[in-house]
Amino acid sequence: VPTLLPSGQFVASTRKLHVEPKSSPAGAPERLPFSKVTDEDLAYFRKILPGRTITDPDLVESSNVDWLKTVKGSSEVLLRPQTTEEVSQILRYCYNRNLAVNPQGGNTGLVGGSVPVYDEIILSTSLMNNILTFDNISGILTCQAGCVLENLSLYLEERDYIMPLDLGAKGSCQIGGNVATNAGGLRLLRYGSLHGTVLGLEVVLADGRVLDCLATLRKDNTGYDLKQLFIGSEGTLGVITAVSILCPRKPKSTNVVFLGCETFEELLKTFQLCRGMLGEILSAFEFLDSECMRLLNTHLKLPNPISDCPFYIVIETSGSDPDHDSQKLDNFLEEAIASTFVTDGTVATEESKIKALWSMRERVTEALTHDGFTYKYDISLPVERIYQLVTDMRQHLGDRAKSVVGYGHVGDGNLHLNITSPAKDPALLAAIEPFVYEWTASCQGSISAEHGLGLKKRNYIYYSKPSQAVALMGNIKAMLDPKGILNPYKTLPDNLK
C-alpha cells in the first residue's frame, strides 16, 4: 500500500506516494497466471479468421513495439477481425481459455498502453475500417473502430463536415483507439472532449457479450450513460468496435496566426485578449517554447517563420463568414501589437501556408525523436502555472538533461513536458520522477491530461485520484472483466486493493 507523504512537501498529506512493486526487468509487474497459446487455440482462430491469424514473427514484430520504441512485448499471435461478431467470438473463446488479450488500434499511444507486456494475444481493429452511416442533416457519423482519423476527416470534408478532433498522429491513429484513450488534440478548445462528442458506442465485453449502445441521439436521459465508462478506459473494460460521433460543419473560413512573445506572462495576456476578441471563431490556441523551435530547426530543417522569440503561439480561427472573421482577427492583432504582448507574427489564409504554420506545432514530437531518448510528460495544470513546471524542471535537472522543452494546449491547460538525453538514463529518470508528479499534485493538476496511463504511468494514478476513486475503478474492472484478460498490466495500479 502506498505510504502517505509528510505534510509540507509537494503533495498534500492525503495524496498517496508511488511505491514500485516487485517488477520484471522491463518495469512491468510479474506475469499473471494466464494460459499460453496452444496449437489448438491457433486452429480455432484460423477457423474463424482464415488468412487473418498472423503468427509470422516478422509480421507480428511491429505490433509488439510501441510508437516510441520504448516498450516491447513478446506476443506470437496477431488477430485481425473484420466484424463485431468475430471480435465477440475471439473474446468469448479467450475468456473461457483464460487467454490475455491486448486490443490495438493504430498503435500511436505514448504510454505503452497499446502493445503487449508479455505474450498477450494482439487483437487489431485495423481491418474494421468501414463507415456505416452518415447523416448530412445532423452531422452524425457512425463507423467501425478501425477507421483511421485522417480518412474520416477526408470523407467528411467532401460532405462539408469535419471531425471534432484533430491529432498529429491522424494519419495512423484509429477512431476506436482515440475513444479508448479519450484523445484530446488540437480542436478540444472549440469542440470539447470525446466525452461530449461521442454519442454512442458498440463494445464487446471480456466474455464476448456485445454491448450495443450505438445511439445517434444527442439527448438520451434513460438510465446510466454506460458509454462514458469505455471512453478513456484504454481497452481494459471492453473492446470498442463501432462509434457514433457528432461532427461539426466544415468552416468556410480558416485562418492561422503564428505569433512570438517575450514572456509566458505576455503569452497568457495574449490568450485572455484572444478569447475576448475572437470569441466564437477561436478554434485553437497552442504554444511552443524556443527550445522546441531549436529542435525543429536542427533536426527537421524547418525555418522559423518569424524572428526568434522565447515563446511562440499558434492561433486558429474558423467560422462561416471570411470577411467577418478577417475583421475580428485584424482587430485582435492590432490590439495585441499595440499592447506589446506580441513582438512579431505572421498570418496564413492559404491552405499550404496554414499547413506550414501548423507543422511548427505538430512536428515537435517528431523533432524530439531525433534529439535522443525522450521522457514524455502530459500534464494538466491551472493555465497560469503551465510553464512554471518547465522552468522548475530545468533548474532541478541542471546539466543532467540534454533538452527540457515545453509545448501544448494553452486553452486546455495542457502542458507537454519533454526531456531528452543521449541515451536511456536511469539516474536522470530518478531525478525526474517522482518530482514531476509531486509538483503536479501540489497544484491539484493531473499527471495525464490526454495520453492516458497505460503501462508506464499506471502506478502514479494516486497523484491525481483519491484512493476511494481508484478502488471504485478496480470494482468496475472486476465486474466487467472478472478474469482480467483485457489489456492486463495497464491503467490500474499494481497495488490496487
Q: For residue 244, how many C-alpha atoms fall within 13 Å in the half-sphere facing its CB?
A: 19
Task: Give the mean model confidence (pLDDT) for residues 167-189.
Answer: 91
51, with CB counted inside 10 A (0-12, 13-18, 19+), is exposed
Task: Enumerate the H helices of 98-247 as residue ranges.
Answer: 149-157, 175-180, 188-191, 194-197, 227-230
To the nearest whole number, what is the mean pLDDT of the chain? 92
Phi and psi, residue 460, nearest 5°? -100, 10
3-class state of residue 171 by DSSP = coil
Task: Give the mean model confidence (pLDDT) for residues 411-417.
Answer: 92
Rounded CA gap, 65 and 78, in Å?
13
Task: Give the mean model confidence (pLDDT) for residues 378-404.
Answer: 96
The answer to whether residues 63 and 106 touch, using CB atoms and an 8 Å cutoff, is no
3-class state of residue 412 by DSSP = helix
Task: Give the mean model confidence (pLDDT) for residues 69-84.
Answer: 96
pLDDT at 6 over 60: no
Write the single-letter amino acid at 95.
Y
pLDDT at 312 over 60: yes
15-33 pLDDT, tens digit per residue, is: 333 433 334 434 678 999 9
What percentage of residues in the chain have a pLDDT greater than 70? 94
